[in-house]
Amino acid sequence: MANEENLRKALCPQNDLTTVMILLEEIIRNYQINLLLISFMITMICPQNRKRKRWDRLGQSAVLDSIPAHVRYLDRLVRVTDRACVDNLRMDRNTFGRLCRILRDRVGLIDQKLVTVEEQVSMFLCVLAHHKKSRIVGFNFMRSSQTVSKYIHTVLRGILTLHSLFLVKPKPIDEACSDRRWNWFKGCLGALDGTYINVRVPIADVPRYRNRKGHITTNTLAVCDPQLRFIYLLPGWEGSAGDSRILRDAITRPLGLKVPKGCYYLCDNAYPNAEGFLTPYKAVRYHLKEWGVGRQAPQTPEELFNLRHSKARNVIERSFAVLKMRWGILRSASFYPINVQTGLIIACFLLHNFIRIQMVDDPVEAELDNEADIDDESDNEPLLGGDNISSVEPSASWIKKRDDLARAMWADRNRG
């Protein structure tokens, strides 16, 4: 036995045993690689066309099913038809795309890890257009209400920084004007008036925001041009504030309401007939319905002036009507703090201008044309060379200007 043990040790020393183990590992590895190569060659050679087609169909459906539901919902809103986009976001697909591009380039909005800029803007527009709460919008977009609220405030801040871009620069009516409603008002910049918008405020502030009809509102002073685009805004006044007080504050702000020399705004009787503000004659027929079908035509220069003044100034009432039809959040009070509500009101005005500029046909205005007539409702950059209005008291020279214009209208009435 001792001789056999010595013989084994002599034939298989320790170093040789390690070498044998390494060789065995390499043989096994090569064997596995060869099996894989053989299997791959068999797969390539053998025809499996029928099974391959069936796998392709299953693969396509699996890819479609893997698209998140909120992505499909966004595609239905902004990438299918203009009709769907207008109904839900109040603008067509091209206008929506331009708005997102402006917010990317000028404001710096970026795609987040899970939420694109397009989805951020879509959620914001859904809130403005339909006055949906954050949890309802979150349910539609498959997002949490906290996520929706976050991006509503993000987009709102971006829109407000674009006020100088979206507000229209006023252009006076000149001799080349062919619009019969405006060709008598040379030098007019637009129509001025205020509108009430329902808001929700703390109980302690309710008396200040209660208007003369008992509603809790904020008052917004605005000026629009003949194309229903706003050129000046002063929002956020409590509903009990009078027109004269708001006007005085508007003209005394550092970047307030300014008028170039010789230009003016059309206003109603709530404002004074002063330098820069042309109002109708008091105690004389004024509203358009007073000259309706079958009613007596104007009998005096003052009545004719009031009729033509009303036809031109009615553009501001029409602008307010289109604005509130477009944005549902303006038709009822929201639950946001009053400062956020004021920001949302400004955003509605700015986006209204953007839509009016970008879209050739405004479906909201077309819808308004099919309804009843509109009844009156009782910081733009300073113009180069404009003079601050220093007084809102009636002006004798401005009264004479109105009288001269009324007499000229009356003398030319047979041709008008």
The pLDDT value recorded for residue 135 is 92
Q: Which helix (DSSP H) or strand (DSSP E) does residue 221 occupy?
A: strand 217-224
pLDDT score at 15: 60
Q: Give the pLDDT of residue 390.
A: 44
264 backbone dihedrals φ, ψ, rounded to 5°: -165, 170
Return residue ranges of the chain for CATH 1.10.1750. 69-161
Give the C-alpha separation, 225 to 318, whole Å: 11
Print burial letters for 256-290: b (CB count within 10 Å at least 16), e (below 16). Answer: bbbbbeebbbbbbbebbbbbbbbbbbeeebbebee
Query: What is the Cα gyration radius of the chain?
Result: 36
What pLDDT does 381 receive?
34
On whether the pTM is more than 0.85, the answer is no
CA dihedral for 145, 107, 79, 351, sign (positive or negative): positive
Average pLDDT for runs of 10 along the chain of length 416: 51 63 76 74 64 47 57 82 90 94 95 91 95 90 92 96 93 89 92 92 90 88 93 83 71 72 88 87 81 75 91 93 94 90 95 94 85 47 38 74 91 72
For CA atoms 100, 101, 106, 109, give the dihedral sign.
positive
**At 243, phi and psi to the nearest 5?**
-65, -40
The top-level CATH class assigned to 69-161 is mainly alpha
Which of 226, 400, 243, 394 minimizes the C-alpha distance to 311? 226
| DSSP label of 290 | G
Q: What angle, rounded to 10 degrees, do the helices at 82-89 and 69-78 form?
A: 100
- On whether the CB atoms of residues 145 and 134 are closer than 8 A, the answer is yes
How far does the chain reach from its first CA to its final CA, in angstroms? 138
Q: Directed axis angle between helix 301-326 and helix 338-358, to 10°?
A: 110
